[in-house]
Amino acid sequence: IWSALSRTHAISLRLTHWRKMNKSWRRAIRLGKYASSSLIGTAVDMLVLWLCSDFWLHDYVGEYIISPCISFEAAVITNYLVAHFFVWRDRVSASPFVSVLPRFLRYNVSCIFAFTVRLGISLLFQHWFQWDVVLCNLVAMLFSGLLNFTLQDCLIFRKPST
């Protein structure tokens, strides 16, 4: 009897361990997808920022405040579409009207919060090191990206409760 119980317990422990490993593996894959999709958003953000700051808005407010806001929103739209249809597709509803617009509004609010953090960090780096706006923005994106992933995982695209 003890032998059968210990085998059952061992199998149960292995299954529990496998489920935990599988969950960690899925999270790592999702983080990889998020990082790769963020590269697309970063490219859009940096391109729009460069175009705005070098060819359109030349004063300090235009270059360091307005240009990042415009480039940010262009990247938000791009990132949301990639996130919705690629990164978090297993957590969204099949009906686009039920899922896309309300979630986009929440996504945009969370991104605005992360952007506020990013803008603050960017302005601090510009003040401390006198770096170009594009470099300050890139460094600040590293910090705000981690914050944004956490917000998306826990709030925007959270796993539906069963």
Closest CA to 151 of 119, 122, 110: 110
Write 29-33 long-range contacts (CB < 8 A, 24+): 30/87, 30/88, 30/153, 31/149, 33/86, 33/87
**Confidence check: pLDDT of 16 > 80:** no
- Residue pair 133/121 in contact (Cβ under 8 Å)? The answer is no
The per-residue pLDDT of the chain, averaged, comes to 79
**Confidence check: pLDDT of 24 > 80:** no
User: Minimum mean pLDDT among 14-18, 102-106, 143-147, 156-160: which range?
Assistant: 14-18
How many other C-beta atoms are found inside a 10 Å radius of the C-beta of residue 80? 20
Q: Do you know the residue count of the chain?
A: 162
Residue type, 116: T
**Interval 55-101: pLDDT, tens:** 887 788 887 788 888 998 899 899 888 888 888 777 776 655 566 77
Say whether 161 sits in a helix, a strand or coil.
coil
Global pTM reads 0.65
- Residue pair 31/149 in contact (Cβ under 8 Å)? The answer is yes
**Interval 102-135: pLDDT, tens:** 888 888 898 888 888 988 999 999 899 988 888 8
pLDDT at position 8, please? 58
